[in-house]
Amino acid sequence: MKCGFVTIVGRPNVGKSTLLNQILGQKIVIATDKAQTTRKRIKGILTDENGQIIFVDTPGIHRPLNKLGEFLLDEAKIALPDADLILFLVDGSEPAGKGDKWICENILKKADAPIIIVMNKIDKLKNIQKAEENLMTYKTLFDENVPVIRISAKTGRNKDTLLSNILKKLPEGEKLYPDDVVTEESMRSVAEEIVREKILNNTQDEIPHSVAIRVTRYEENDDIDRIFATIYCEQKSQKGILIGKGGSLLKIVGTEARKELEKITDKKVFLALEVKVEKDWRKKDKILKQFGYFQDFEK
C-alpha cells in the first residue's frame, strides 16, 4: 500500500484549496477568489484501496509585507521537509510570472522531494498553442525535467490522472489515519474559517485581509451547537463596514456561516458574532500568537 505526504504550494489564488476540496469530494478548506484566503497549513486525507495520501494545503506564497505575511510564508516553508512529493500548482491560463520564479528560486530548488507541476485553470484556454507556450515558461524554471499535469480544480478534469501520478511517487507504507478521517481540523477551527470565508465573500478592498476570527466559546450538544465568535479588524471604520447599516452585513455573514455549519455538523447551530477593533494586529507578534498565527519552532 502507498502512503505519504503531498504538499501543495503556489502563488496566492491559483486554486490550491479548490483542488484539495475537489480531490476529497467535500469541503474542508475555505476557497474564495481573494488572495491569502488560506492562512494556515491544513491537512486533507484521501484513503482508498490504492493507499492513503495526506495532502497539506499551504497559504499562497508571496513576499511578506508584515508579520502575518511572514507567518504565511513560514507555513508554506515548514510543510516541505516532511513532504514525499510537492505539487507546484500554477495558473496555466497565463505564463509564469515573477511570483512563480520567486517560489522556484527561493523555495522549490531548496526542497528535497520530487516535484510535479500542476497546471490549473486549463479550461480557460481554448488555444492549444497558447497552452503549450505557457507550459514551457513553467518547465524552464527548473534545471531538470519536471513532469506536468494539466487539470481543472474547479471541474475536476484530469483529477484521476493526477492522483495516479501522485501514487506512483509515494513510498510503500501503512496507513497513518483511520479510513473515515479526512482532516485533523477541530470544529472550533472550522467555524472560525467558515465565518472568515463569508466575510471574504461579502467585503472588498482591504477588509478581507484585515480580519481575524476567534471562537471564544463552542458548546457542543446532541441537538444544537452554540458558537460564540469575535471578528477582529484593524480600524474603527472597518468595524462599521463589517457591521453594516442596522447590522445588515453582520446578519448576512452570520446567516451564511450558520447555514454552512449546520450542513457540516448535520444539526442546528446557534451562532453569535461580535466585532472588535485590534489596531494593526497583523504587525504585532503578541496579537498574532493570540489569534493562532505562530510557529512552534525557532527560526
Q: What is the pLDDT of residue 66?
A: 87
Residue 296's pLDDT is what?
56
Per the prediction, the chain carries an average pLDDT of 92
pTM of the full structure = 0.88
pLDDT at 241 over 90: yes
The pLDDT of residue 67 is above 60: yes
Q: What is the pLDDT of residue 123?
A: 83
| Span 30-58, pLDDT tens digits | 888 887 788 888 999 999 999 999 999 99
Beta bridge mates, 225: 220, 269
User: For residue 292, is pLDDT > 80?
Assistant: yes
Whether the predicted pLDDT of 171 surpasses 60:
yes
Is residue 295 very low, low, confident or very high in pLDDT (cuts 50, 70, 90)?
A: low
pLDDT score of 78: 85
**Least confident segment among 26-30, 136-140, 177-181, 240-244:** 26-30
Q: Please state the rounded mean pLDDT for residues 179-195.
A: 93
**pLDDT attached to residue 298:** 40
